[in-house]
Amino acid sequence: MVMELGEMGSFIRVWLFVFLSLCYCYALPRFVPKGVPRLLCILPIVCLFLDLPLHLSSIHLGGTTAFFIAWLANFKLLLFAFGKGPLSSDPSISLPRFIAVACLPIKIQQSPVPKSHDQNGHNKEKPFPGMPKKGQKSLINYATKGLLLGLLVRVYNYSEHIHPKLLWVMYCFHIYFALEIILVVVATVVRLVMGLELEPQFNEPYLASSLQDFWGRRWNIMVTSILRPTVYEPVLTVATRVVGRKWAPLPAVMGTFVVSAIMHELIFYYLGRMSPTWEVTWFFLLHGGCLVVEIAVKKAVASRRFQLPRLISGPLTVAFVTATVFWLFLPALLRCKVDVRALEEYAAAGTFVKNVGRAFISNVMKSTT
């Protein structure tokens, strides 16, 4: 569906409800203690955030809003109900920062990187465990991906002359480039307005050396960081009592992928308003099972110090992810006609920008004559 003014009006109304709802949540700690009482007060907001994306029909506005509020904001609010998560880490957090952290895919770097000294007395960085080793990517990196995304959109005009499998490869790059650019634009705006230092959202997933590396440290790091305290750690605690500390990560990983599968099915429903065919669920269950096997094998051979060379494990990982995306993920996405609708929205946005530009130039010329 081509984005119209009516869709923009719905978009503004949806986010006005989000703003007012988060103002209500921000005030809760002053009157309601954490735990079940606060959870009961927040549950209506969670239900509202699940409903609001249904009032949007576009791929870009509706899909982005669904990801931001139905998934990220709801999970953060559930943590907030029990005094955990990013919304509870700073008791003196301001309202604008609370709203930004609650509903946007950002993660604030809480502490600067500590420094230590080498043998010559020079300072050298010593990163915290889990903190990205690299800083923010260069502007050239994002500009290149933006240019490639634009080229992909133009090449789609000749899709009837392109082999379907090659077209699917292009869709894979399109999804990655579009997600990273959208998330980095949001993070950049927040950084400029609030002066926050934010962690990157992606870390070149095509360079992954294993499934653990891909899902844990490279692909959509924001989702990983919110699934860890909401799903992985609680399941890990319970599993430790049942199977012991060594093997507890296995059911915790599988539980995380189950929840991720459910949330992706929900996002796909928002995009297509179609009954699920469960291919997306099988995609994540397959990856969760394979990741469990990978972790188990690593634990079993840890004492032998056996490890596949990166030149072998890297291409194998990328090939496996690509093959399973072709098999289970993309068919479900294309069933929602995301490709056709996205191109229509690009065309509509281009027409809108041209009309605004022409109107601006016309007004300037009239004012100078």
Domain ranges of the chain: 1-106, 134-198, 208-357
Opening angle at CA 346, ends 344 and 349, nearest 5: 110
Residue with the two structure tokens 């009516």? 6
**Within a 10 A sphere around the Cβ of 277, how many other Cβ atoms?**
14
Give residue-wise pLDDT tens across range 132-149. 344 456 778 888 888 988
Residue (of 230, 224, 188) closest to 203 by Cα position: 224
Mean pLDDT computed over 64-87: 94
Residue (of 58, 318, 341) closest to 173 by Cα position: 318
Residue (of 285, 281, 253) closest to 267 by Cα position: 281
DSSP-assigned letter for residue 115:
E
How far is Cα 19 from Cα 12, in angstroms, rounded to an integer?
A: 10
- Least confident stretch, 52-56, 172-176, 313-317: 172-176
Opening angle at CA 80, ends 74 and 85, nearest 5: 95
Helix H or strand E segment including 5:
helix 5-27
CB 41 within 8 A of CB 117: no
CB 187 within 8 A of CB 198: yes
The radius of gyration computed from the CA coordinates of the chain, to the nearest angstrom, equals 23
Residue (of 182, 203, 145, 200) closest to 342 by Cα position: 182
Considering the entire predicted model, what is its pTM? 0.82
**Alpha-carbon distances, residue 362 vs 67, 352, 353, 357, 369 (angstroms):** 39, 15, 14, 8, 11
Give residue-wise pLDDT tens across range 207-259. 999 999 999 889 988 888 899 999 999 999 999 998 888 889 999 999 999 99
Question: Token pair of 121, please?
Answer: 């007395």
**Partners of residue 319 on adjacent β-strands:** none
With H, G, I as helix, E, B as strand and everything else as coil, classify residue 117: strand
Q: Mean pLDDT in the chain? A: 84
Give residue-wise pLDDT tens across range 283-319. 999 999 999 999 988 887 766 666 778 888 899 999 9
With H, G, I as helix, E, B as strand and everything else as coil, classify residue 198: strand
Residue (of 35, 36, 40, 34) closest to 91 by Cα position: 34
Residues in the chain: 369
Mean pLDDT computed over 177-199: 80
The band of 113, judged by pLDDT with boundaries at 50, 70 and 90, is: very low
Signed CA dihedral, 268, 43, 15, 136: sign only: negative
